[in-house]
Amino acid sequence: MDFEKKLKEIEAISARLQSDDIGLDEGIALFEKSVILTKECLAYLSESKQKIETIKRDLDLLLSDGD
Q: Return the domain boundaries, the chain.
A: 3-65
With 90 as the cut, is the pLDDT of residue 31 above it? yes
**Which tens digits make up the pLDDT trace of 12-25?**
999 999 998 999 99
Q: Is the Cα dihedral 27, 18, 31, 34 positive or negative?
A: positive
Q: Is the pTM here over 0.85, yes or no?
A: no
**Which tens digits make up the pLDDT trace of 32-59?**
999 999 999 999 999 999 999 999 999 9
The Cα–Cα gap between 28 and 53 comes to 37
Q: Is the Cα dihedral 21, 26, 27, 31 positive or negative?
A: negative
Q: State residue 53's pLDDT score.
A: 98
Q: Answer whether 13's CB lies under 8 Å from 36's CB.
A: no
Across the chain, mean pLDDT equals 95
